[in-house]
Structure 1
Amino acid sequence: MRDICPDPLTLSDSLLDWYDTHARRMPWRVPPRDRKSGVMPDPYRVWLSEVMLQQTTVVTVKDYFHRFTERWPTVGDLAAAKDSDVMGEWAGLGYYARARNLLKCARQVVSDHDGRFPADHAALLTLPGIGPYTAAAISSIAFDLPHAVLDGNVERVMARLHDIHTPFPVAKPELMAKAAALTPQSRPGDYAQAVMDLGATICTPRSPACGICPWSAHCRSRKLGTADELPKKMPKKTKPMRHGVVYVGRRADGAWLLETRPDKGLLGGMLGWPGSAWVDKSTALPDVPTPAAAAWRQLPGEVRHTFTHFHLHLCICVADLPLDITPDIGGFVARDVFRPSDLPTVMRKAFDLARTAF
């Protein structure tokens, strides 16, 4: 079939015309009208939003973004923050390595770049937690440099526009080449946000609104009737099942026994309940010492949680602890200081189950 896509400039211009009218309002975004008048985005806010949006929805991120920027309005403020404060504010967003890298990146921007994000794609790639997509997004959105962005929305748009049936992730280089070919020299920042908006609001995973798409007349998959099939993906692997135990102890004065998890590994640097390693469900739990000498009792039921690469089942043991006890693992957090919202989701689930036992 003859390629029905016109030259890239025609496509990018038509998408920018659409974006000028239909751009989503985001707390980190400079609207196209303001951008045309010379208002440039704050690279700190662009970077923060992009890190938060990895594996997370816009709806979820907005409240977190507001809290972060109110508490730490500049990258220097964030760099000076306590790790525990940042991890507490991040709780619930998941993928906690992002929060650890957020702090590392902020501190490196302050120490190596005088508190300014470098307006250079290669330099951005040297910063902690900034990979090819995030570097391209910051380069284009914050600095108006013509770097192609390729998130999930853009992958879907490119696959459908060009009717690419190669499954993802094998198709990524091909999709990136298509995205780069369409990225204009003029207004690349607005174009990057426009193509992401197109995927998020029009070229959606299910039931794309092809009738109101600015690229509808040029879309190969629409003409061929294959849009609903794209993008193709490799079959998902079955997630393994793991299990473990956590110990939720409360002292007589209402303080809770918690530990800060090691910096490296899953939930690194986060508050959590002491407990065992998480092992394959077919394997017996290893012997793990209780965090304090007490009459621990196992609760009926279990906590179930799914991470990116595995499912987890946790049994919960609880105990009332005397005032004079010295724990072997962890330390006590006073009742008036403890905030369940500071816990990562799986640990908060354990708290919700355990609190009914006290």
Structure 2
Amino acid sequence: MRDHDSDTQPLSQTLLEWYDQHARSLPWRVSPADRAAGIWPDPYRIWLSEVMLQQTTVAAVKDYFHRFTTRWPTVADLATAPDADVMGEWAGLGYYARARNLLKCARVVASDHCGVFPDTYDGLIALPGIGPYTAAAISAIAFDRQETVLDGNVERVMARLYDIHTPLPAAKSELKTKAAALTSAARPGDHAQAVMDLGATICTPRNPACGICPWRSPCAARLAGTAAELPKKTPKKPKPTRLGYIYLARSKDGNWLLEQRPDKGLLGGMLGWPGSDWNDAPQPAPPFEAEWQDLGAEVRHTFTHFHLILQVMLAELPDDYIPNASQLVMPRHDFKPSDLPTVMRKAFELWKGR
């Protein structure tokens, strides 16, 4: 009987046969049938989808992807887009540094690479905002390079297939080695997408559908009865809670006072309401002297590393108010709540519903 590692080719072939029948239909994906017919994926669409999908679900990304590719069909189109337009379209996806890096990357591809994405891992990882995972995913999916793509779905599948109990993130190297050994040399792009699809649709975090899994027979965790508890993860520290003030000021004509946040840091470069620092004991920092009224409702929002509670303050914006360099008075006809990041939009919704 062959050991588990020596059986990688049949495992890969079994997975690809399953993928040929059950591949998800995604707006950025070239189906396995089309790929077999010689149709190549658009690297721009693969790159855009991978950046959007970082720490975000497929369901949440689809509408954003459609809007972006309709408005900016090519990387050259995106490269010439105003920053504010791109940030506005991104609002709600979160992790706004990704949007800033998206623009930086598009502009480098347009200016330094004549609008053509590099077709190797090394070329891709040299671009702004592209890390090891994204470089591997683009080079495999868009260019059929034999790179190992390791996202959360692949980590879960590998941990179960080989019954690996080392907790994440310490297990990443071992899981990547296992995934690399399985990667098909003939169809690496399809293989990468197949493992991700397997994790997203069959080998799910809870209640995996082991009965219909193409790797059911060789799965060591299924045989050991440990699939449901894998992958193991190092316990996370409790998130701290930060506090702050947020100031909504509107003129008699319905115009709003907004503030552009610094490029670096949370919500970098985004438009939002003026506010205080976010810390354990924030000091009030109104944008101008006025009789500020407490809305009586708090904005609660959770970021990756902390919970945030904002006290919402209201005042009328003076007609003669002169905004400072980081502020602007937005005419009511131009104001679109959808352009605000989620935490700022929550404050607007509280004001609207008061």
TM-score (norm 2): 0.97
Displacement over 6 Å in runs of 4+: none
Match of residue 293 from structure 2: 297
Separation (CA, whole Å) in 2 of partners of 1:287 and 1:39: 58
Give the conservation status (yes or no) of the 8 Å contact 2:257–2:317.
no
* RMSD (CA atoms): 1.4
Separation (CA, whole Å) in 2 of partners of 1:89 and 1:226: 43
Match of residue 210 from structure 1: 210
The CA deviation string for residues 50-88 of structure 1, in whole angstroms up to 9 with x for no partner, is: 000000000010000000000000000000000000000
Aligned with 1:216: secondary structure?
A: coil
Give the conservation status (yes or no) of the 8 Å contact 1:5–1:219.
no
Match of residue 141 from structure 2: 141
The CA deviation string for residues 187-222 of structure 1, in whole angstroms up to 9 with x for no partner, is: 100010000000000000011111111111110000
Give the conservation status (yes or no) of the 8 Å contact 1:148–1:179.
yes
Q: Where do residues 331-350 of structure 1 align in structure 2 (5 Å cutoff)?
A: 331-350=328-347
AA matched with 1:227: A
Aligned with 1:218: secondary structure?
A: coil
Separation (CA, whole Å) in 1 of partners of 2:110 and 2:199: 35
Q: Can you give the 5+ residue segments of structure 2 that lack an aligned partner in the other structure? A: none
Match of residue 224 from structure 2: 224
AA matched with 2:88: G
The alpha-carbon deviation at position 99 of structure 1 amounts to 0.3
Separation (CA, whole Å) in 2 of partners of 1:116 and 1:315: 47
Match of residue 355 from structure 1: 352
AA matched with 2:333: D
The alpha-carbon deviation at position 252 of structure 1 amounts to 1.1
The alpha-carbon deviation at position 323 of structure 1 amounts to 2.0
AA matched with 2:327: G
The alpha-carbon deviation at position 335 of structure 1 amounts to 0.6
Separation (CA, whole Å) in 2 of partners of 1:251 and 1:258: 12
The CA deviation string for residues 85-106 of structure 1, in whole angstroms up to 9 with x for no partner, is: 0000000000000000000000
Q: Can you give the 5+ residue segments of structure 1 that lack an aligned partner in the other structure? A: none
The CA deviation string for residues 105-162 of structure 1, in whole angstroms up to 9 with x for no partner, is: 0001111111010001111111111111100000000000000100000000000000
The alpha-carbon deviation at position 330 of structure 1 amounts to 1.5
Aligned with 2:259: secondary structure?
A: strand
Match of residue 318 from structure 2: 322
Give the conservation status (yes or no) of the 8 Å contact 1:150–1:176.
yes
Give the conservation status (yes or no) of the 8 Å contact 1:105–1:128.
yes
Match of residue 89 from structure 2: 89
The alpha-carbon deviation at position 321 of structure 1 amounts to 2.0
Separation (CA, whole Å) in 1 of partners of 2:56 and 2:238: 22
Match of residue 313 from structure 1: 309
AA matched with 2:94: G
Separation (CA, whole Å) in 1 of partners of 2:283 and 2:246: 13
| Cα distance change on mapping 1:145 and 1:4 into 2, 3 Å | closer
The alpha-carbon deviation at position 356 of structure 1 amounts to 4.1
Give the conservation status (yes or no) of the 8 Å contact 1:5–1:218.
no
Separation (CA, whole Å) in 1 of partners of 2:124 and 2:218: 35
The alpha-carbon deviation at position 299 of structure 1 amounts to 1.4
Paired residues, number: 353
Match of residue 28 from structure 1: 28
Give the conservation status (yes or no) of the 8 Å contact 2:248–2:313.
yes
Aligned with 2:243: secondary structure?
A: strand
Give the conservation status (yes or no) of the 8 Å contact 2:140–2:146.
yes
Q: Where do residues 1-358 of structure 1 align in structure 2 (5 Å cutoff)?
A: 3-4=3-4, 7-280=7-280, 284-288=281-285, 290-328=286-324, 330-356=327-353
AA matched with 1:71: R
Aligned with 1:245: secondary structure?
A: strand
The alpha-carbon deviation at position 325 of structure 1 amounts to 2.3
Give the conservation status (yes or no) of the 8 Å contact 2:245–2:284.
no
The alpha-carbon deviation at position 322 of structure 1 amounts to 3.0
The alpha-carbon deviation at position 7 of structure 1 amounts to 1.5
AA matched with 1:213: C
Give the conservation status (yes or no) of the 8 Å contact 2:249–2:256.
yes
Aligned with 1:7: secondary structure?
A: helix
The CA deviation string for residues 274-301 of structure 1, in whole angstroms up to 9 with x for no partner, is: 0100002xxx32252x212322111112
The alpha-carbon deviation at position 236 of structure 1 amounts to 1.1
Give the conservation status (yes or no) of the 8 Å contact 1:3–1:220.
no
AA matched with 1:316: V
Aligned with 1:222: secondary structure?
A: helix
Give the conservation status (yes or no) of the 8 Å contact 1:291–1:330.
no
Give the conservation status (yes or no) of the 8 Å contact 1:259–1:271.
yes
